[in-house]
């Protein structure tokens, strides 16, 4: 397995230095212009510059994650979507030319991953995030941003028809992330990636070797899915390209994020399960609580709540300890 961390695309002395000091060699980043200070990564030179900056600091840029630019035209099926799909295809080509093999993306229209609180106490007074559907069940996004599940499905197929041939040509793993929280409709927005069955449908209809999954363990858990059962099936078919590790207490209607060692999921057992079933791809610690001296970020940026460094350092230590105990090769 390759141990990765989601790091800012622009040099951050503290975060980049700490990541290298704890042994992280592979970087994942979100290269949107507001974070990178550069053009979007459909610009070859901009993406190359970000890759070179990581390399100078001792990292291999292994993947991009999230929306690298405004995906609303694509996800909502707006009249100008072909223009933006062409830019997305160019980004995928750029990644292939630069040897950046992994693209973690989502198809959440209008609203990305969402929490109702970001300052809920965890162990020892650490601050974590929480979702409570009761707080937003009567809220709606503007009418122009509302969309049905059926239309989101149509837009996803249209997108994949265009993207997957390019991804195949350039050797890019398209790792689709589930909707978080997995509720539909959500504030007037249809969500489609809310069950394992939805992913089975996508894999069956689009059997491309570039079509795969970001297995966000906690999101599938909030769906009520059997984590071992669904992951073993997908691992057998080499469809899990990326592992996101975090834990939650609760269900999709109300849950609270926990430290990696303080939730209900047997984290060590699951890591061994992934390894025993043949997973050797990229893995990263997902959201972690903000610890002493840190301030939990809001949702205004691309790397937001759950991404302070101290909790990530603890999570990396947990992952390394489990892998060493089970003799799991971790790069």
pLDDT at 300: 53
pLDDT at 296: 81
pLDDT at 305: 82
Tokens of 106: 């989502």
CA distance 5 to 62: 10
Which parts of the chain register pLDDT below 70? 299-303
Going along the chain from its start, the domains and CATH numbers come out as: 2-325 (3.20.20.150)
pLDDT at 101: 99
pLDDT at 295: 83
CB neighbours of residue 240 within 10 Å: 24
CA distance 325 to 184: 40
Rg, C-alpha atoms of the chain: 19
Tell me: the pLDDT tens digits for 249-258? 999 999 999 9
Tell me the pTM: 0.97
pLDDT at 297: 75
Q: Which of 6, 59, 70 is nearest to 32 (CA)?
A: 70
């Amino acid at each position: 397995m390759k141990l990765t961390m989601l790091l800012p695309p622009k040099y951050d002395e503290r975060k980049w230095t700490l990541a290298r000091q704890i042994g992280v060699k592979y970087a994942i980043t979100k290269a949107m212009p507001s974070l990178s200070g550069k053009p979007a990564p459909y610009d070859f030179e901009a993406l190359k510059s970000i890759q070179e900056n990581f390399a100078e600091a001792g990292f291999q840029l292994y993947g991009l994650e999230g929306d690298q630019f405004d995906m609303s035209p694509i996800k909502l099926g707006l009249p100008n979507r072909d223009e933006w799909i062409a830019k997305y295809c160019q980004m995928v080509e750029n990644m292939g030319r630069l040897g950046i093999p992994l693209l973690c993306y989502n198809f959440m229209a209008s609203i990305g991953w969402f929490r109702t609180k970001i300052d809920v106490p965890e162990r020892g007074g650490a601050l974590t995030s929480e979702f409570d559907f009761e707080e937003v069940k009567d809220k709606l996004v503007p009418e122009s941003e509302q969309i049905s599940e059926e239309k989101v499905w149509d837009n996803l197929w249209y997108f994949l028809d265009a993207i997957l041939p390019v991804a195949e040509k350039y050797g890019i793993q398209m790792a689709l992330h589930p909707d978080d929280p997995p509720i539909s409709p959500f504030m007037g927005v249809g969500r489609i990636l809310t069950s394992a069955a939805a992913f089975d449908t996508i894999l069956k209809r689009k059997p491309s070797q570039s079509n795969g999954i970001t297995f966000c363990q906690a999101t599938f858990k909030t769906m009520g899915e059997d984590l071992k059962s669904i992951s073993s099936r997908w691992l057998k078919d080499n469809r899990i390209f990326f592992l996101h590790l975090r834990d939650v207490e609760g269900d999709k209607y109300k849950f609270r994020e926990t430290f990696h060692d303080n939730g209900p999921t047997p984290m060590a057992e699951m890591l061994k399960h992934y390894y025993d079933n043949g997973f050797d791809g990229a893995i990263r610690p997902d959201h972690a609580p903000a610890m002493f001296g840190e301030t939990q970020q809001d949702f205004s940026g691309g790397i937001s709540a759950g991404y302070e460094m101290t909790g990530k350092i603890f999570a990396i230590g947990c992952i390394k300890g489990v892998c060493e105990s089970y003799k799991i090769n971790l790069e």
